[in-house]
Every structure is written in structure tokens, then in C-alpha cells.
Amino acid sequence: MNVVGAILQKNLLNFIRDKGRLLGSIIMALFFLFIFSFVMKSSMSGLEQPMNYLISGVIIMTVFQTSLNNSTDILSDIASGYMKEVLVSPISRAQISIGHILSGSIIAVLQGLLITVLSLFMGFHLDILHLLQMIAVMAAAGLTFGSIGLFLATISRNSSSFQIVSTMIMMPFTFLSGAYIPTTIMPKFLAPLVYINPLTYLTAIFRFISLKMEGVSQSELIKQGVAYDIHGFVITPIIGLLIIILMGVIFFLLCVDKFNKADFSNVKVAAGPRR
């Protein structure tokens, strides 16, 4: 059986069987949907489509967090002894890493789609063409942050270290991306941190699609926080997407190289049932 396909199947089955993990992510997304869709809707009165603006941020953050955290699967495989059985077989480590990245990306897209469907009952308007574009962006985000997550997993000594590092990255990236708090109302001194945050551009391209802003002028995109004027150089949503894809390629190569050289013998996680 194809190695990548086997890892993909195993991780997808683990995801479906892990009801607590699935319900936890859905409940958290629903919590943010409630907070931002109803409580904060009145504060977004200046926007033409406040529901699409707020909900699209929740959806793409769900994809980001899921793809980053799915790399804990590989640490669980190592601790349970499953990875030793895989590594002694005549397959390359590159295939193993690709299988984990792909499975993490698919799970992230599935969770993003689930939140999208729930959002349709809360006033989120979408047509088929823009839904397909959103799925493509979710897939690109899943591959990019799945690669970053696997890279972090290979340099972490155990699952606790991975969780600490991922949380340190996730929290500031999330709240400085404009997903929950528009970048247009943030203090000016935070602007450099907003510009170097890759999630800023991921949120921008996702909103560009969900708000159907294809015919909107560049100045209006900047005004609404979907494009960014950095000392005269404007990063449009399309350029932002290219930055995300470039980051994905770089971290994919880095994590495959790191995974090939990694010594997993010292990695430890909390004892638990073998999956």
C-alpha cells in the first residue's frame, strides 16, 4: 500500500475516532462565532458585510490552529512505538513527513468546511465559485502551517515543549492578524508586528474572497484592512497569498530535511493508549 496513503488513512481514522478532540475544536469555533457574530456585530456597523467579515476570520483561524496542532500525531506515534515500526521498514522519511502534512491539511480543510456550513445558518452568504476559492485557500493554509507544525514537532523534545512553542506562536499571531480584531483599529505601534505576521495576509486573502471584493479599488482595500501599504509598497491579497505559499514551500523543505536528520529516541510524551 502506498506509504503516504497509509499514513493519511491512519491519521484520518484517528481524527474521526477522537470525539473529544473533534468536539473541542467545534465548540471553540462555535464560541467565537457566537461572540463575534452576535456580541460584536454592532461594533462593526461601518462594514458592508459585517457577518461575512467576522465569520471568515473565525473559519480561517480554525484551519490555522487545526493544521498547526495536528503535528502532535507524529509525537504520539513516536511515544507509542509505532514510529519505530515504520522507520525500520524500507520507506523514506520524506514519505512519512509528506503523509503527515497532507493528513493534517485535509483534516484542517474538513474542519474549516464544517464551520463554514454551520456559519451559513448564522448569516454567512456564499456562492459556489467563492466557496471553491475558499477551499483552495484553506488547502494552501493547511499545507503551509502543517509544514510549520511538523518542523516544530521535529525540534521539540516532547509533546509538552511542542504545545508551549505552538501556543507562544499561535496566540500573538492570531490576535495580530486581524481575524478577530480589525487591523484598522489597532494602535499604530503594532503595525510592524502586523506586517511580519503571515496570518495577516492569510486573513486578508480569505476576506477578499468571502467579501467578494474583486472589483474594489486598491485604496478601498487598504482602508478596510484587506491590503497593506508598507512605505509605498502595497501588499494586495494576491501578493499576500503568494507570500503564504512561498513560506509553505520553504518550511516544507525545512521540515522534510529536519525530519530526515531527526533523532526521535529522546522524544517523550505522556503515557496513553496506543492508537
The tens digit of pLDDT for each residue in 9-58 reads 877 887 777 777 777 767 777 777 776 666 556 555 556 667 777 788 88
The CA-based diameter of the chain, rounded to the nearest angstrom, is 60
Residue 210 is predicted with a pLDDT of: 85
State if pTM tops 0.85.
Answer: no
Question: d(Cα 161, Cα 145) in Å, to the nearest integer?
Answer: 18
Sign, CA dihedral 48-136-12-76, equals negative
SS3 235: strand
Q: Tens digit of pLDDT for each residue in 112-141?
A: 888 888 888 877 777 899 899 999 999 999
12: buried, middle or exposed (CB in 10 Å: 19+, 13-18, 0-12)? middle
33: buried, middle or exposed (CB in 10 Å: 19+, 13-18, 0-12)? buried
Q: Tens digit of pLDDT for each residue in 73-86?
A: 777 777 776 776 77
Residue 268 is predicted with a pLDDT of: 54
